[in-house]
Amino acid sequence: MLRDVRGGRISKTESDQTLAALRTLALLEPALWLSFARAQRHAGISQAQWEDSYKRAVEESPDPAEILWEWSEAAAGADRQIKLKVQAVAADPSNIALASRAAMLLNGLYATQRGLFASLTWRALLRQVADALEEHFDELDAPAVSRLAWTIHPRW
């Protein structure tokens, strides 16, 4: 169904009916909020609407980190994407791969787009990711240790 919505193979009326049915199903089965958010996004529904569905998916999920990361990839604006990625790390600090990806992204953005946030905001964002990596220091591979070091000691 998502492929049909994404590929434009169904009419606007069918798309609206499908989205209405998905919403009803999501109200009955909260695990479907993520599918509903994806369908809304691919159907071209307003960002505010599909972001509300992602919020519901996060609230209903026992493991919201991957949902937050997916949402961050779809969100508009680098600042929104970064904050959602950091929230994903905070939601599952034991996910080393996720924290390492976030650290790599934050370090790169800090080096190239430092004006995106105030210094204090950068420190708070970097610190949350560093805390997650430090918590599992003995399990980190070399690239993750390097990312941790740059996250802890960026050039202020």
User: For the chain, which residues score pLDDT lower than 50?
Assistant: none
Report the number of distinct structural domains present in the chain: 2
* Same domain for 48 and 81: no
Contact 23, 36 (CB under 8 A): yes
* 96 and 156 housed in the same domain: yes
- Cα(45)–Cα(63) distance, rounded to whole angstroms? 26
In this structure, the answer to whether residues 6 and 22 fall within a common structural domain is: yes
Please count the other Cβ atoms lying within 10 Å of the Cβ belonging to residue 155. Answer: 7
pLDDT at 51: 95
pLDDT at 67: 96
Range 2-10 contact pairs with CB under 8 angstroms and sequence separation of 24 or more: 2/35, 2/38, 2/39, 2/42, 5/39, 5/42, 5/43, 6/42
Q: Rounded to whole angstroms, how far apart are CA atoms 145 and 125?
A: 18
The domain in which residue 14 lies consists of 1-62
